[in-house]
Chain A
């Protein structure tokens, strides 16, 4: 596939690297000369220096033959122009634009498109809001994805020393906790991850992804040694676009929200926009203020100011005071690498989320990938089992699935089950499959007749 990425920032360069890794021909357009030189060194992509929102530069980047165009600069307006030029003038089939302002996003969606054309707006801020909202009901989770209309849940949790799972063999899970059906989908250890087999072991310090029935969540949380907060209240530090949007969503769900910001004018605007949220003027790192407003009893503490170091500090502070569940907005790769083990439940990176969304859009092919876990290294697919394919030929243990591919769950007649080695899959079943990105291509062999 011929891919053009406009914008060489964190989002653009990460995307370019991943897509090049997938085997596509990538051209990266960037205005800054220094950045271009650096990217040229690091990435296996073609780089062009120039303003990507102009037609000559896009032609030079090969837009006339491009299959995919990704507009990822920091400016909404520039991205809008790039995407429109690409789809309206050059009829590029797949176009994605990163747009942060919901007003721009709405306008972008309303522009008419021809049949077969795919065009998406990717909003990093709203993606962050959605992410936090999905994590909120699952304390301690770093990642949560749900399938089959919410009837199956995959959540990633850090294994603490002394919790029930530490030191267990995966094959013993079912024997030890027969009342709580669950499956380990992926494990990350020492910065490397794997789709596990039965002989793998869970160790303290691992990041483990469990698949489970949402009804079993509370039992699993007990086993993990996690607890819910005393109050349903959520405290948000930073009345940024993300903070206000999150507060509004929580408000409509009936969750009480406290929003803290130290900039008075920003507080005024937020208070005017929100209806039930308690807006507090003060510093989110002021211990006395947090105590006064009951941070020690909140269910969730979300730090989403524009200063990401401060987000880490206020999350640590709130976590230490007793907030059940802390989220920090951190877009800086070095910083998020450092704070991973400090006790903040989830690090949210809008940039990486938009990378993830764009990648998802780019990879969307014949088999529908529904989610990506572990920084896009594990893809999760939802497929229908076809008669005559290898998948339905014999019990799961005898199919000979390659390492890195795992059958997570099966939906048959509206009922969900997590299959064992002796179970069979029948034609017509809906199947959730997890696959490591590098073996995902081999899924076809198993699924096709």
Chain B
């Protein structure tokens, strides 16, 4: 293991965190709030970062797979710890709560333990939204994009962080790929900010919501989320941008360079949009009540579908009062998640699609024992190793969810709350069902539950294997 280079990289990542914290610092000065928490957090990140960078400058800059896992996991945990400092210093939250809120931010989950977000400093609200925005496209990807001097040329780090079973380069060079993806991301964020401003939101609300929409995060500046603005226009704008954020950014890039035609043939996209369509219809039919306006019901159905499927987690209505079937649909959407290469969580459309194909092939093989029938995606054969990776992923995903649910249940919570808490955490969604529904928060959970759920969030955001690898005995050998 190249420990010196790993610590060196972690040092640089902490320095980057320190730089990010500059924005809320400026905001706190502008809003006339205390700059103390930001200075403290920057000091922690800056001092440790500088120490790591200065003490152990490495000679060998080769990254092996296991170094990649370590750097990525380490970077995310470090960012979360540093990100928790402002919550503690302002006295808004305690240690477990602060860590939970920071992890929920960076992993773009959006579950919150803050009961009333309107009373906390606005710079802190900005930091919550910003942490999601950074975590959405990925801290590592950002580092690769802006710090080519670090000499990260290999795919190891990229693969460990990008959502989905297969990481694609859209440009010949990794740094160019990372920059391209970030440019698309920034472009969409700016577009949404303008759209929300035009729809009548304040600059601050528009910025925070743009950050958390594109990241499919879901932190809001209001206690009852996007619904509190009471504007159908705002909701439709948010639906559109959530949908965009749930789509593979490589596809957006292809549209930008004029290859939109092939994007439309992408079977994962078709499947994803199909799920959106079907779920919207099911929710509309089951939720629409006599007397309610049809337009409102359609919008609520579409909003909740897109919000939960893309794992954003905004709400426009209190879905806790819904019947069992629509809740089950929401629970399924939580698991499915966005497309691979998007900022969404869950198991990803591509994995679901390939798992279904693989299942079909398996059934087929029972009928034709000698058939040679590869699983195909987009006309090309998916290798057995990718498929077994997908099944392993689904197994691990299920096991971690059940373990998480077990911990919640052990503290006496009901079945729906336990299961949905674990699912929403590992899927990076945000709200759950039962006692953690649309208008509830996670503050009433015991400390241990919060830490376990934060762990689930990290597992989910880093595609399970990156962190799971650290628990393998083989990893620490040699």
Do B372 and A281 have beta carbons less than 8 Å apart?
A: yes
Chain B residues contacting A292 (CB-CB under 8 Å) are: 368-370
Do B370 and A281 have beta carbons less than 8 Å apart?
A: yes
CB 8 Å contact bits of B357-380 with A (1 = contact, 0 = none): 000000000001111111010011
Q: In the assembled complex, how far is the CB of residue B429 from the closest CB belonging to chain A, in whole angstroms?
A: 36
Q: In the assembled complex, how far is the CB of residue A268 from the closest CB belonging to chain B, in whole angstroms?
A: 6
Query: B381 interface residue, CB < 8 Å from A?
Result: yes
Q: In the assembled complex, how far is the CB of residue B387 from the closest CB belonging to chain A, in whole angstroms?
A: 14
Assess A272 versus B381: contact at CB under 8 Å? Given A278-B373, A279-B373. Answer: yes
CB 8 Å contact bits of A274-310 with B (1 = contact, 0 = none): 0100111110000001001100000000000000000
Complex-state Cα separation, A292 to B366, whole angstroms:
12
Q: In the assembled complex, how far is the CB of residue B181 from the closest CB belonging to chain A, in whole angstroms?
A: 30
Do B370 and A280 have beta carbons less than 8 Å apart?
A: yes
Chain B residues contacting A282 (CB-CB under 8 Å) are: 370
Chain B residues contacting A267 (CB-CB under 8 Å) are: 372
Q: Which residue of A lies closest to B373 (CB)?
A: A271
Chain B residues contacting A289 (CB-CB under 8 Å) are: 370
Query: A368 interface residue, CB < 8 Å from B?
Result: no
Do B376 and A272 have beta carbons less than 8 Å apart?
A: yes
Query: A24 interface residue, CB < 8 Å from B?
Result: no
Q: In the assembled complex, how far is the CB of residue B374 from the closest CB belonging to chain A, in whole angstroms?
A: 5
Chain A residues contacting B372 (CB-CB under 8 Å) are: 264, 267-268, 270-271, 279-281
Do A278 and B371 have beta carbons less than 8 Å apart?
A: yes
Chain A residues contacting B379 (CB-CB under 8 Å) are: 275
Q: In the assembled complex, how far is the CB of residue A334 from the closest CB belonging to chain B, in whole angstroms?
A: 33
Complex-state Cα separation, A271 to B381, whole angstroms:
9
Chain B residues contacting A281 (CB-CB under 8 Å) are: 370-372
Chain B residues contacting A270 (CB-CB under 8 Å) are: 372
Do A280 and B368 have beta carbons less than 8 Å apart?
A: yes
- A 338-370 contacts with B by CB, 8 A: none
Q: Number of contacting residues on A, CB 8 A?
A: 15
Do B380 and A278 have beta carbons less than 8 Å apart?
A: no
CB 8 Å contact bits of B374-393 with A (1 = contact, 0 = none): 10100111000000000000
Complex-state Cα separation, A224 to B368, whole angstroms:
36
Complex-state Cα separation, A289 to B369, whole angstroms:
10
CB 8 Å contact bits of A235-267 with B (1 = contact, 0 = none): 000000000000000000000000000001001
- A 77-104 contacts with B by CB, 8 A: none
Complex-state Cα separation, A292 to B367, whole angstroms:
10
Chain A residues contacting B371 (CB-CB under 8 Å) are: 278-281
Q: Which residue of A lies closest to B374 (CB)?
A: A271
Complex-state Cα separation, A292 to B369, whole angstroms:
9
Complex-state Cα separation, A280 to B370, whole angstroms:
5
Chain B residues contacting A264 (CB-CB under 8 Å) are: 372
CB 8 Å contact bits of A112-150 with B (1 = contact, 0 = none): 000000000000000000000000000000000000000
Q: In the assembled complex, how far is the CB of residue A296 from the closest CB belonging to chain B, in whole angstroms?
A: 16
Q: Which residue of B lies closest to A270 (CB)?
A: B372
Q: In the assembled complex, how far is the CB of residue A234 from the closest CB belonging to chain B, in whole angstroms?
A: 16
Complex-state Cα separation, A300 to B8, whole angstroms:
68
Complex-state Cα separation, A213 to B45, whole angstroms:
88
Complex-state Cα separation, A81 to B392, whole angstroms:
54
Chain B residues contacting A275 (CB-CB under 8 Å) are: 376, 379
Chain A residues contacting B370 (CB-CB under 8 Å) are: 280-282, 289, 292-293
Q: Pick from A268, A272, A279, A280: contact of B380, CB below 8 A.
A: A272
Q: In the assembled complex, how far is the CB of residue A258 from the closest CB belonging to chain B, in whole angstroms?
A: 9
Complex-state Cα separation, A292 to B380, whole angstroms:
28
Chain B residues contacting A268 (CB-CB under 8 Å) are: 372, 374, 381
Complex-state Cα separation, A282 to B369, whole angstroms:
10
Q: In the assembled complex, how far is the CB of residue A396 from the closest CB belonging to chain B, in whole angstroms?
A: 56
Query: Which of B368, B376, B379 has the most chain A CB atoms inside 10 A of its CB?
Result: B368
Do B368 and A272 have beta carbons less than 8 Å apart?
A: no
Complex-state Cα separation, A390 to B368, whole angstroms:
64
Complex-state Cα separation, A289 to B370, whole angstroms:
8
Complex-state Cα separation, A279 to B370, whole angstroms:
8
Q: Which residue of B lies closest to A260 (CB)?
A: B370
Q: Pick from B368, B369, B381: contact of A278, CB below 8 A.
A: B368
Chain A residues contacting B368 (CB-CB under 8 Å) are: 278, 280, 292-293
Chain B residues contacting A293 (CB-CB under 8 Å) are: 368, 370
Complex-state Cα separation, A40 to B382, whole angstroms:
56
Q: Pick from A272, A278, A280: contact of B374, CB below 8 A.
A: A272
Complex-state Cα separation, A282 to B370, whole angstroms:
7
Chain B residues contacting A278 (CB-CB under 8 Å) are: 368, 371, 373
Complex-state Cα separation, A264 to B380, whole angstroms:
18
Chain A residues contacting B381 (CB-CB under 8 Å) are: 268, 271-272
- A 146-169 contacts with B by CB, 8 A: none
Q: In the assembled complex, how far is the CB of residue A190 from the closest CB belonging to chain B, in whole angstroms?
A: 44
Query: Which of B370, B374, B379 has the most chain A CB atoms inside 10 A of its CB?
Result: B370
Q: In the assembled complex, how far is the CB of residue B139 from the closest CB belonging to chain A, in whole angstroms?
A: 38
Query: Which of B368, B372, B380 has the most chain A CB atoms inside 10 A of its CB?
Result: B372
- A 44-73 contacts with B by CB, 8 A: none
Complex-state Cα separation, A316 to B130, whole angstroms:
74
Chain B residues contacting A280 (CB-CB under 8 Å) are: 368, 370-372
Q: Which residue of B lies closest to A271 (CB)?
A: B372
Complex-state Cα separation, A281 to B379, whole angstroms:
21
- B 132-190 contacts with A by CB, 8 A: none
Q: In the assembled complex, how far is the CB of residue B398 from the closest CB belonging to chain A, in whole angstroms?
A: 30
Q: Which residue of B lies closest to A272 (CB)?
A: B381
Complex-state Cα separation, A268 to B374, whole angstroms:
8
Q: In the assembled complex, how far is the CB of residue B371 from the closest CB belonging to chain A, in whole angstroms?
A: 6
Complex-state Cα separation, A293 to B364, whole angstroms:
13
Complex-state Cα separation, A280 to B373, whole angstroms:
8
Complex-state Cα separation, A103 to B374, whole angstroms:
25
Chain A residues contacting B373 (CB-CB under 8 Å) are: 271, 278-279
Complex-state Cα separation, A267 to B373, whole angstroms:
9
Q: In the assembled complex, how far is the CB of residue B127 from the closest CB belonging to chain A, in whole angstroms?
A: 50
Q: In the assembled complex, how far is the CB of residue A375 from the closest CB belonging to chain B, in whole angstroms?
A: 38
Chain A residues contacting B380 (CB-CB under 8 Å) are: 272
Can you list 12 contacts pairing A with B, beta carbon distance less than 8 Å?
A: A270-B372, A271-B372, A271-B373, A271-B374, A272-B381, A275-B379, A278-B371, A280-B368, A280-B372, A281-B370, A282-B370, A289-B370
Q: A280-B370, A281-B372 are in contact. List 11 more A-B contacts (CB 8 A).
A: A268-B372, A270-B372, A271-B374, A272-B376, A272-B380, A275-B376, A278-B373, A279-B371, A279-B373, A289-B370, A292-B368
Nearest 5 A/B pairs, CB to CB: A267-B372, A279-B372, A272-B381, A282-B370, A271-B372
